[in-house]
Every structure is written in structure tokens, then in C-alpha cells.
């Protein structure tokens, strides 16, 4: 069976996010952390967006979080998403504090099956040889 | 801060010649038609214009196409609110002496455009949101509405969104330029198809081809305009995120800053407002903007709009043109809010005229609920 080429939009890693995307390829989720604020933030930037400190580092996230909000996309926004619709776009509150955009997968795309605040955990989709997207599913 | 209230006025407003579905005209032609029409409305000519403002395009594109060589330019582009913000910038520029006649233009073949602009892949939204399908504002705003429903109750939120869609359509039926010509019942709203749950089709604005322009000038110059000037009493602007995933609170519009600031500059309170023009990219936008502006408190929007209060005959006239939901919305709509406010304040609105309309508050929202610009306008 030949695989369909991946036609949905892909991220173009930037200098400050190469590490993030390298780690997702290893099925790990890493966050940028400010040693002055003592908190993680998303998305990755070398300089802390809260206090402008350069005293920042990378920390590995647990991959656990809760669902902050979601929508169930019925009308595919581009032809590449047609086979996926209906699918779930979501924003997740990570255990470490930051919020991140993602898809909620391995769930019925039905509002009765999805609840704001439900526990979720990260899964990794190797969408191309170069890019792995972190997504979330209901926590088991 | 210098008191710039009532130091400049809007003297000309117009749409492009045709709006709606206009496959035979480019975005820039919509700019040019609207500019010519608005200058005519003001009793001015192209040669009077020395300040040029637009969003989406840079003013060197519109300046070139329109044949205008300005001495003040502003291409501030923060989504559909940009044109409201341009009014604030025009007042400042006029008072600084940088220009005297400010022309704000917009044109967008949102429906018929042949070549959409490619986006910059280094933007965080392109990297972290777009790959997941956060594409197009219905999806982004829907996530805001879901959060609101979680915090304040799904049923009452749903009813509020329906109230806004239905009341706005009633106004559109009285505007000959409105794209939507058929009445909408509550049943029609609830039966319209899902776009991105919790949004039905009728929660979402139109996608049209349209242009618009606004002429702002000094108090002195405004006195000799063709029509009575509409004074800018207050103006304010802000933004607090880019993509929806970095919005600090998905249930709170940044109009919580720009509303009070603009009203403060005007020296007015909410009860002074005769007409609210609130950017309705989505029904949900209106709900949280009314709250942000302070017409009601957080979570109180559903009670505020209940019972068709914002419809013709209601005690809170809102979006009397028919709004982005039912009149026109080419992609960035804010400038059309100004046009309707000015026409209402001039008493030009015929069947849909708000009686004794003296003061209007106009609030534009741009991006993924990212930016707002608020102005308070008053008739002479």
C-alpha cells in the first residue's frame, strides 16, 4: 500500500524552534522556561516574553494537561483537510502552565464526547519524515 | 495627553460602486471607486488629499494605483479594526500638522480575488496553529465561543448568538445595499449547517467583494464641507495577541481597554450612546465586545441582547446596516461600521434611520479577536 503524500500545511522550523521540532521527532514535548519568572512559556522564544530575561532554558513537559477549549470543524478550511472533517481543533492547558494549540484525536468529534476541562495527554504524529506534530487525546 | 476630542471630523464616506459579488473588479479598483465616491461625498477632490491611510496593502500600493502622493502615510494593519484605528491616527496627524485631509481607503475582492496573498512562514501562527487546521477565523472564534459557553452556560449563550444573528438580519432587510435579502427566523438560525461547532453558518459573517473610504479633516476645513461634519469625540486602540492560542482570556475582548478609553476621551458614558456599531465578524464577537466595552459585565451579554433588544424597534439599536453578518464583509470590515455610523448621524438612513441619532460608538475587532479600535462620533 502506498501512502498518500501529506498535503496539509507544515510548520517551517525557525532558529529559535529547531530544538522544539527536533524533540517532537523524538516523541518528546519540550518547553521554553524562564529562570527569572520560574515558569514555562509557549511558543518557544530565546528571550522571555514576560520579563525580557535572557536567562532561559528548555524543560521537558510531562505531556499531560487539560482541555482549555475546542471546536469541531465541519467545513474543511482547505481541500487538504476535507478527508479529516469533522475534526477537532483544541487549545490545551499544559500541566506546566502554558497553553498550546493542537488537535484532539482518538475521540468522537461530537460535543457530547468532549468537555472543556477534561484531562488529555500528548500523542505524536509523524506526519512526514521531517515533521512530527504533537497532538492530544483523552487521558486514559 | 493633549485633548484631541472634537478637533477633527469625518466629512466623507462611501462604499465602492458595487458591493457584494463583483467578479469583474479587483481589490484596488474597489479602493479607487470608494475613494472617488467618498471625496465626492465630502465635496473635495483628489488634489486635496495629503494624508493616505490603508490596511492590508501598503499605502505605496494604493498611492500608486490612485495616483496620490501623500505627505503623511499610515499602513497600520491589525485586521478589520485597522480603519477605526486609522481615524485615531488621522486626528493625531491632523493636529500635528502632518496632513490636513486624510483619506482612509479599503478594498477587498474577498469573494472573487484571483490570487490570495501567501503568508509568512516565520509567523508563530503559521508554525504552531495552521498545521492543526486553525485556518480561517470561523475556527478560531468558535474556540472562544466554546470557552464562553463553558464559563457562562451553553443554552443561554446559544440563545444570545441567535438573538444577534436574527436582529442583525432584520436591519439588513432595510438596507438596499445589504447582501442578504431574506428574513431569518430563530428556526432558520438553529437549522443552519455547522461550520465549526459551536458556530452555525448564521454565526459567521459574509464573504463579499467591497470597498469603502472615509475622509477625515481638521475642524476648520470641516466647516466648509458639503455635508454637516461628524465629529470624532474619542478614539482608542489596542491589541493583546496574534493567534487565538495566545489570547489571554478567550472570553474577554481587548475592547475592555479601548471602550473606556474612547468614552473617557469623549467625556461620555454608555447611556449617552444612541447607536452602537459593533464589528460582527461572528455573533460571538458582538457578545464579548458589548461586555468588553462595558455596556454590560462579563457573562451578562446574553441577558443584555435578549428579547431582540438590538433589532429595529428595540431600545439598543446596533449594527443598523445589517452588519458583517448580513450587509457586507469583504475580509476586513471595520471601515463599513464608520460609514453606517456617519450616515445615521447625518440622518441619511431612510427606513432604518435611528430616531434622533446624535452619538454613536463604533468598535472594530481585528484578527483572531486580537485587536480593537473604538471611536465615539457625534453629529454637529
The ipTM, to two decimals, is: 0.97
A3 pLDDT band (50/70/90 cuts)? Answer: low
Look up the domain containing B16 and give its range: 8-113+205-379
Give the residue-averaged pLDDT of B152-158.
98
3-state secondary structure of B63: helix
Supply the pLDDT for residue B34: 98
Residue of B nearest to A91 (CA): B245
The answer, for A128 touching chain B at a CB cutoff of 8 Å, is no
Nearest to A89 among B132, B145, B246 (CB): B132
The answer, for A34 touching chain B at a CB cutoff of 8 Å, is no
pLDDT in tens, B36-80: 999 999 999 999 999 999 999 999 999 999 999 999 999 999 999
CA distance B187 to B192: 8
| Number of domains comprising chain B | 1
Q: What is the DSSP string of B91-154?
A: HHHHHHTS-SEEEEEEEEETTT-SSPPPP-TTSHHHHHTGGGT--SHHHHHHHHHHHHHHHH-H
Nearest to A111 among B134, B195, B197 (CB): B197
Nearest to A10 among B129, B131, B195 (CB): B131
Nearest to B127 among A12, A74, A135 (CB): A12
Nearest to A89 among B139, B195, B246 (CB): B139
Nearest CA among A139, A133, A140 for reference residue A103: A133
| DSSP H/E element including B60 | helix B59-66
Give the residue-averaged pLDDT of A53-76.
98
Asked whether B230 and B342 are in contact (CB, 8 A), the reply is: yes
Assigned domain for B288 exists? yes
DSSP β-ladder status, B72-74 and B51-54: parallel
pTM greater than the 0.95 cutoff: yes
The answer, for B122 touching chain A at a CB cutoff of 8 Å, is yes
pLDDT in tens, B108-154: 999 998 877 778 999 999 999 999 999 999 999 999 999 999 999 99
Supply the pLDDT for residue B2: 79
Assigned domain for B123 exists? no
Q: Output the domain CATH number for residue B77.
A: 3.40.47.10
Whether pLDDT at A1 is above 70: no
Q: What is the 3-state secondary structure (H, E, C) of B164-202?
A: HHHHHHHHHCCCCCCCCCCCCCHHHHHHCCEEEECEEHH
Whether pLDDT at A2 is above 70: no
Whether pLDDT at B290 is above 60: yes
Chain A interface, mutation test: which of B146, B207, B251, most A Cβ atoms within 10 Å?
B146
CA distance B102 to B235: 16
Whether residue B196 and residue A72 make contact (CB cut-off 8 A), yes or no, is: yes
Give the residue-averaged pLDDT of B271-289.
98
Percent share of chain B, pLDDT over 70? 100
CA distance A13 to A4: 23
The answer, for B142 touching chain A at a CB cutoff of 8 Å, is yes
Q: Which residue has the cell 439599536?
A: B317
Nearest CA among B188, B17, B31 for reference residue B106: B31
Supply the pLDDT for residue B165: 98
Whether residue A75 and residue B126 make contact (CB cut-off 8 A), yes or no, is: no
Nearest CA distance, B380 vs chain A (angstrom): 45
Residue of B nearest to A82 (CA): B133
Q: Which residue has the cell 485597522?
A: B82
Chain A interface, mutation test: which of B121, B126, B133, most A Cβ atoms within 10 Å?
B133
Q: Which residue numbers of B are catalytic? A: 279, 327
Nearest CA distance, A2 vs chain B (angstrom): 23
Q: Please state, rounded to an integer, the average pLDDT across all residues of chain A.
A: 96
Assigned domain for B35 exists? yes
Q: Please state, rounded to an integer, the average pLDDT across all residues of chain B.
A: 97
The answer, for A101 touching chain B at a CB cutoff of 8 Å, is yes
Copy the grid coordinates of residue B320: 443598523
Nearest CA among B304, B355, B71, B9 for reference residue B167: B304
Supply the pLDDT for residue B118: 79
Whether residue A43 and residue B195 make contact (CB cut-off 8 A), yes or no, is: no
Assigned domain for B87 exists? yes
The answer, for A49 touching chain B at a CB cutoff of 8 Å, is no
CA distances from B374 to A102, B213, B338, B377 (A): 32, 17, 10, 10
Assigned domain for B215 exists? yes
Amino acid at each position: 500500500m502506498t501512502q498518500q503524500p501529506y498535503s496539509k500545511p507544515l510548520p517551517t522550523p525557525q532558529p529559535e524552534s529547531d530544538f522544539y521540532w527536533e524533540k517532537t521527532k523524538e516523541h518528546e514535548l519540550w518547553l521554553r522556561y524562564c529562570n527569572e519568572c520560574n515558569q514555562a512559556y509557549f511558543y518557544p522564544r530565546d528571550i522571555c516574553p514576560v520579563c525580557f530575561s535572557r536567562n532561559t532554558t528548555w524543560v521537558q513537559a510531562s505531556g499531560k494537561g487539560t482541555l482549555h477549549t475546542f471546536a469541531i470543524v465541519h467545513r474543511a478550511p482547505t481541500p487538504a483537510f476535507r478527508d479529516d472533517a469533522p475534526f477537532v481543533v483544541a487549545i490545551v492547558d499544559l500541566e506546566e502552565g502554558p497553553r498550546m494549540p493542537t488537535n484532539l484525536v482518538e475521540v468522537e468529534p461530537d460535543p457530547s464526547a468532549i468537555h472543556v476541562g477534561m484531562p488529555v495527554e500528548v500523542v505524536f504524529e509523524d506526519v512526514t519524515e521531517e515533521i512530527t506534530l504533537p497532538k492530544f487525546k483523552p487521558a486514559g | 495627553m493633549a485633548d484631541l476630542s472634537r478637533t477633527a471630523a469625518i466629512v466623507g464616506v462611501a462604499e465602492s460602486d458595487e458591493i457584494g459579488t463583483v467578479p469583474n473588479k479587483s481589490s484596488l479598483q474597489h479602493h479607487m471607486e470608494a475613494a472617488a465616491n467618498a471625496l465626492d461625498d465630502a465635496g473635495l477632490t483628489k488634489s486635496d488629499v495629503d494624508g493616505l491611510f490603508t490596511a492590508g496593502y501598503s499605502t505605496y500600493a494604493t498611492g500608486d494605483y490612485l495616483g496620490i502622493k501623500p505627505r503623511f502615510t499610515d499602513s497600520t494593519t491589525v485586521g478589520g479594526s485597522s480603519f477605526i484605528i486609522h481615524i485615531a491616527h488621522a486626528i493625531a496627524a491632523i493636529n500635528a500638522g502632518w496632513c490636513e485631509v486624510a483619506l482612509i481607503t479599503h478594498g477587498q475582492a474577498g469573494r472573487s480575488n484571483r490570487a490570495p496573498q501567501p503568508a509568512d512562514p516565520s509567523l508563530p501562527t503559521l508554525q504552531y496553529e495552521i498545521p492543526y487546521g486553525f485556518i480561517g477565523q470561523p475556527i478560531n472564534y468558535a474556540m472562544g465561543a466554546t470557552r464562553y459557553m463553558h464559563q457562562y452556560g451553553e443554552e443561554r449563550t446559544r440563545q444570545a448568538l441567535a438573538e444577534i444573528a436574527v436582529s442583525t438580519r432584520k436591519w439588513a432587510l432595510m438596507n438596499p445595499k445589504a447582501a442578504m435579502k431574506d428574513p431569518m427566523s430563530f428556526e432558520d438560525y438553529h437549522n443552519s449547517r455547522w461550520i465549526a461547532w459551536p458556530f452555525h453558518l448564521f454565526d459567521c459573517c459574509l464573504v463579499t467583494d467591497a470597498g469603502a473610504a472615509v475622509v477625515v479633516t481638521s475642524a476648520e476645513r470641516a466647516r466648509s464641507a458639503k455635508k454637516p461634519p461628524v465629529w470624532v469625540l474619542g478614539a482608542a486602540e489596542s491589541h493583546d495577541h496574534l493567534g487565538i492560542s495566545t489570547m489571554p482570556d478567550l472570553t474577554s475582548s481587548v475592547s475592555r481597554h479601548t471602550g473606556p478609553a474612547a468614552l473617557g476621551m469623549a467625556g461620555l458614558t454608555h447611556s449617552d450612546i444612541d447607536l452602537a456599531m459593533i464589528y460582527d465578524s461572528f455573533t460571538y464577537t458582538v457578545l464579548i465586545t458589548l461586555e468588553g466595552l462595558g455596556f454590560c459585565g462579563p457573562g451578562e451579554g446574553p441577558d443584555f441582547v435578549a428579547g431582540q433588544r438590538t433589532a429595529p424597534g428595540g431600545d439598543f439599536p446596533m449594527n443598523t446596516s445589517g452588519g458583517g453578518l448580513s450587509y457586507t464583509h469583504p475580509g476586513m470590515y471595520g471601515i463599513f461600521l464608520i460609514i453606517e455610523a456617519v450616515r445615521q448621524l447625518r440622518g441619511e438612513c431612510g427606513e432604518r434611520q435611528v430616531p434622533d441619532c446624535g452619538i454613536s460608538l463604533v468598535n472594530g475587532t481585528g484578527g483572531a479577536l486580537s485587536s480593537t479600535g473604538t471611536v465615539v462620533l457625534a453629529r454637529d
